[in-house]
């Protein structure tokens, strides 16, 4: 945390040093005095270069100070963020070998009249204990206090009880921030690192209704994106449409039967739900139709022109319906459905094979992820890929090709296990390191149909 008072002190120190050096140089530049002092020119040169360095340093510090000042005007400070930064600094300095030590800042308890408190000492003591080091939390808190940087934010910090550190804010600092707030209104906090979050939301399925779960995902997802953009991040909104898979076989076969000239005359399939149900009835009752539906899937997956045309027609009908909702909510989202990742999937499976992460069970190729009892199904026994394969391809694409450093999936909580497995598998494969990037599922309840069964 750069702090104006620290920077100012540095600047003053450097100024004083420069003045001293300038005096010295003045003496040295006077040949008489220099001679009297018995100084030879290489040393003068050295001083000159030191002086130049100091000048550079002081300009740099001045620029930082100016930056801090304007930053104050444009951004609002996050008090909790500042406390977290300062304590984080002290804690990491005290325990350089602890990986991700907790900072554990909480609002203060009213009885203590403290504004905030840091409870990290208790957690750190537990962490050390598990490594066979016995220390009491109070000593830990004292040690953290020793490494606390000098700042303008606190009136008082004190260790109390078993090892809490009570935090009392500097009132004039808080008052300053309050008047900033009153004068300038709510502004985004300053972000040190601009992130590239990729938010997967909405993601309905073609030929099925966009149900309340997709609607909630759309609203929550869009809100998250707007908030992240307001703060200053560079957000990519992605619609992971369910636009690929075996259901397209029966839809295409049914389209071919009902509207054989679909390639030239646009078929009236506005009511896609009805169309879907009709084809499903045929699929379940007519063996001949079922066989054709399977053949149609294979042709679609081989990108045969006529089948791609039929697939696009069907997707377009759904797109028109989805767009009505997006327009009404003011949502602009990039469509990147499961089909987008289809061509990447063979390579993904190959990579997992090469890393010895897959196994074949009952003709299916699966992958177990650490800590998960249910595997991902990567290749079905008929050779087709799945929802899991598309998500594996998508996560890699988002982390590497899109350079996302914060992936957010806004999907109902019913898919929580799916995402746990996915994130664990991505770690195992070496694509995702939680210390470097952030990948998370934002769940929001389970969507049940009228029969109380989860709907997809």
CB of 54 to ligand ARG, least distance (A): 55
Between residue 57 and residue 86, which ones bind ligand ARG under the rule CB under 6 A? none
Stretch that binds ligand ARG, among 97-105, 200-208, 268-276, 367-375 (CB under 6 A): 200-208
Q: Work out whether 243 is an interface residue with ligand ARG (CB under 6 A).
A: no
CB of 411 to ligand ARG, least distance (A): 4
Centre a 10 Å sphere on the Cβ of residue 134 and count the other Cβ atoms it contains: 7
Q: Work out whether 205 is an interface residue with ligand ARG (CB under 6 A).
A: yes
| Distance in angstroms (rounded) separating the CA atoms of residues 83 and 386 | 46
CB of 256 to ligand ARG, least distance (A): 26
Closer of 197 and 242 to ligand ARG (Cβ): 242
Q: Work out whether 409 is an interface residue with ligand ARG (CB under 6 A).
A: yes
The torsion angles phi and psi of 167, rounded to 5 degrees, stand at -120, 125
Single residue of 157, 220, 411, 426 touching ligand ARG by CB under 6 A: 411
Closer of 115 and 200 to ligand ARG (Cβ): 200
Stretch that binds ligand ARG, among 30-38, 156-164, 197-205, 350-358 (CB under 6 A): 197-205
Q: Work out whether 242 is an interface residue with ligand ARG (CB under 6 A).
A: yes
CB of 205 to ligand ARG, least distance (A): 5
| Distance in angstroms (rounded) separating the CA atoms of residues 283 and 254 | 9
| Distance in angstroms (rounded) separating the CA atoms of residues 275 and 258 | 10
Nearest to 440 by CA among 154, 221, 294, 289: 221
Q: At 431, which helix (H) or strand (E)?
A: none
Q: Work out whether 391 is an interface residue with ligand ARG (CB under 6 A).
A: yes
**What is the Cα 254 distance to its own chain's centre?**
42
Q: Work out whether 456 is an interface residue with ligand ARG (CB under 6 A).
A: yes
Stretch that binds ligand ARG, among 47-55, 107-115, 198-206, 304-312 (CB under 6 A): 198-206
Q: Work out whether 240 is an interface residue with ligand ARG (CB under 6 A).
A: yes
Closer of 28 and 199 to ligand ARG (Cβ): 199
Q: Which residue, chain included where needed, has tokens 């002092």?
A: 37
- The count of residues interacting with ligand ARG (CB under 6 A) is 10
Contacts of 124 (CB under 8 A, 6+ apart): 91, 95, 98, 101, 102, 137, 140
CB of 393 to ligand ARG, least distance (A): 10
Closer of 144 and 210 to ligand ARG (Cβ): 210
The residues of the shown chain that bind ligand ARG, judged by CB under 6 A, are 200, 203, 205, 240, 242, 391, 394, 409, 411, 456
């Amino acid at each position: 945390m750069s702090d104006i008072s620290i920077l100012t002190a540095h600047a003053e120190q450097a100024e004083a040093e420069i003045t001293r050096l300038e005096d010295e140089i003045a003496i040295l530049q006077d040949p008489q005095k220099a001679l009297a002092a018995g100084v030879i020119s290489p040393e003068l040169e050295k001083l000159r270069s030191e002086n130049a360095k100091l000048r550079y340093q002081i300009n740099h510090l001045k620029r930082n100070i100016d930056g801090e000042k304007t930053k104050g005007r444009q951004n609002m400070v996050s008090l909790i963020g500042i406390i977290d930064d300062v304590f984080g600094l002290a804690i990491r300095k005290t325990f350089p070998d602890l990986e991700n030590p907790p900072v554990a800042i909480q609002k203060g308890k009213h009885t203590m009249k403290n504004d905030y408190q840091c409870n990290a000492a208790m957690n750190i003591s537990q962490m050390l204990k598990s490594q066979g080091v016995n220390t009491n939390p109070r000593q830990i808190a004292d040690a953290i206090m020793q490494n606390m940087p000098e700042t303008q934010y606190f009136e008082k910090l004190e260790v109390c009880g078993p090892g809490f550190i009570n935090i009392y804010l500097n009132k004039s600092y808080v008052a300053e921030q309050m008047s900033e707030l009153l004068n300038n209104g709510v502004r985004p906090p300053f972000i040190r690192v601009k992130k590239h979050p990729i938010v997967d939301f909405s993601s309905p399925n073609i030929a099925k209704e966009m149900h309340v779960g997709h609607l909630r995902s759309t609203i929550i997802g869009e809100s998250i994106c707007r908030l992240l953009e307001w703060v200053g991040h560079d957000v990519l909104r992605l619609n992971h449409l369910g636009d690929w898979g075996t259901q397209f076989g029966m839809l295409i076969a049914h389209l071919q039967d009902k509207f054989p000239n679909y390639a030239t005359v646009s078929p009236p399939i506005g009511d896609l739900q009805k169309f879907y149900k009709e084809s499903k009835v045929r699929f379940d009752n007519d063996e001949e139709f079922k066989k054709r539906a399977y053949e149609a899937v294979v042709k679609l997956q081989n990108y045969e022109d006529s089948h791609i045309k039929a697939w696009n027609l069907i997707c377009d009908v759904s797109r028109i319906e989805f767009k009505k909702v997006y327009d009404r909510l003011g949502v602009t989202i990039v469509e990147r459905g499961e089909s987008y990742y289809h061509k990447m999937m063979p390579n993904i499976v190959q990579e997992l094979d090469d890393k010895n992460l897959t196994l074949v069970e009952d003709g299916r190729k699966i992958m177990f992820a650490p800590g998960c009892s249910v595997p991902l199904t990567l290749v079905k026994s008929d050779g087709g890929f799945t929802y899991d394969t598309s998500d594996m391809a998508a996560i890699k694409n988002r982390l590497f090709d899109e350079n996302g450093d914060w992936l957010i999936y806004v999907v109902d909580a019913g898919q929580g296990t799916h995402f746990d497995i996915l994130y664990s598998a991505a770690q195992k494969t070496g694509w995702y390191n939680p210390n470097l990037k952030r990948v998370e599922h934002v769940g929001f309840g389970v969507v049940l149909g009228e029969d109380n069964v989860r709907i997809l």
